[in-house]
Amino acid sequence: MIGDVIKFSLRTPHRDVAKLRCALACEQIDRVAKAVAAGPRRLTNKQVAALAGCRYREIIHRLEDDPGDRGDADVWRLIARCLGSPREVDIATLRSIFGEQADQVLAEKGLVPDTDSRDRLLVAIREVEQLAAALLAKRAHGDYSPDPNAARFPALPVSATDGRLTRIVAAWKAEATAVGTAGSTLTKYERILQRFVRFLGHDDARAVTAEDVIRFKDHRLREEGANPKTIKDGDLAALKSIFTWAVANKKLGTNPASGVTLKVLKNKKHGYSTDGAAVILRAALSRQAEPRGRPKLTAALKWAPLLLAHSGARVGEIAQLRKEDVRRVDGVWSMRLTTDAGRIKNKKDREVPLHPQIVRLGFPEFVTAAPDGYLFLDDVTDAKAFRAQHRTLKNRIGDFARSVLSEAKVPANHGWRHAFITRCRAHGVDLEKRRMITGHAGQGTDEAEYGNPAGLYQEVCKLPDYDLS
């Protein structure tokens, strides 16, 4: 309903879907408002054909699978003949019959045409309705050969859509949020696109060329001194991802970042040595609580290094462990790394058995005595607060390890993952089951279906204790 306000239903009870639909609806309303403010404009022949094609595809998509039986084929043929019979087109009649369809297509694309353009669109819509009826007659007869009209209609020229980069990013972000993209990725990509807009000096995505992306890459590398890996995996990845989304969602015609890359020399990262890991673990277990320190932080700095060392888990997975996630399954203590607690990189829950050394050192007793909820995070009220506290805790765990021991080319937190895999290789841990434990993608069918932590426990037990004496 339109009055002093625009009111409509998003037709969903789900909050994430509502967010996405609201963002897309606001974008469409904004386009229409701008088009109305600019006044009626003439549509090119290509634009008219593209808009008629939108109507054709909508009819076929809705009716092609079930257009009726053979008896209904005659009805479709009759409709096709009626639509194609008049030689002289009566515009008044076309306005009465097809005006609503034309206005719907125009509104979806945010276009306000002049009278002549709208009338030409009405003629084109009459023709595509005739083509659609003829095709549906064939489909009703069971003929599903390729649609001869499939390639007839052009894509709507980009000039007819709102190509502002900031609007494209906002729409991409709304959809990415709804499908569960990590908040850190949303923030990072949005920040990169804002930097790109400042570099360009304009906000018109349609004017962006591959040369602009290359200039941006060179500017970041030579003038700002950014790390080549940051440029390749951050800046260029963000541009490619968002421009690819814009092309797929018909907001742009081409992806100007496609094919632009930067060669990065790979520096092989290493895991902690066995002796180095033992030094950190001894320091963690003997660490005293600070007089005014947070009890949960103290617990995290004590137990997280040991859990990382014996599981190869990602530090974020350990940081978000909850009391309910540590449990005894088939007589074996295990920790459940789950998306219910927070983000898991591949979005797949897994059950990881605890190494006997962790059990002997008293981790199950610590969990049993802990209050319900997160073991190492304080109670959080919303997603933003959770992300901030979660990020801080990961940094604190890494800072602690680095303060005890700094080994060359060993990342503070991810070094545990490298070290765990090295130990697995050295002690003959089964490859597929090792991947089950670490959450790495694997190729085996057995791995995809394996679910009993007791079966993985025998592999974990192949790994010797760390010397913590």
Tokens of 55: 């109507």
Per DSSP, what are the bridge partners of residue 322?
Answer: 374
pLDDT at 325: 95
Over residues 348-399, the pLDDT tens digits come to 889 999 999 999 999 999 999 999 999 999 877 788 888 889 999 999 999 9
Q: Residue 204: pLDDT band by 50, 70, 90 thresholds? A: confident
81 CB contacts (<8 Å, ≥6 apart)?
A: none
CA atoms of 25 and 62, how far apart (whole Å): 22
Neighbour order of strands in the sheet with 350-353: 326-329, 332-337, 350-353
- The CATH code that applies to domain 274-460 is 1.10.443.10
Over residues 23-52, the pLDDT tens digits come to 666 666 666 666 566 568 888 898 899 899
Residue of higher predicted confidence among 220 and 11 = 220
- The CATH code that applies to domain 165-248 is 1.10.150.130
Over residues 129-188, the pLDDT tens digits come to 999 999 999 999 899 999 998 889 887 664 444 567 888 898 899 888 888 787 778 889
CA atoms of 304 and 281, how far apart (whole Å): 9
Q: Each residue of 353-380: b (16+ CB within 10 Å) or e?
A: bbbbbbeebebbeebeebeeebbbbeee
The reported pTM is: 0.56
Q: Each residue of 327-351: b (16+ CB within 10 Å) or e?
A: eeeeebbbbbbbeebbbbeeeeebb
Residue 278 scores a pLDDT above 90: yes
Over residues 411-451, the pLDDT tens digits come to 889 899 999 999 999 999 888 888 888 887 655 434 444 44
Question: Per-domain residue ranges for the chain?
Answer: 39-160, 165-248, 274-460
The answer to whether residues 129 and 98 touch, using CB atoms and an 8 Å cutoff, is yes
pLDDT at 19: 64
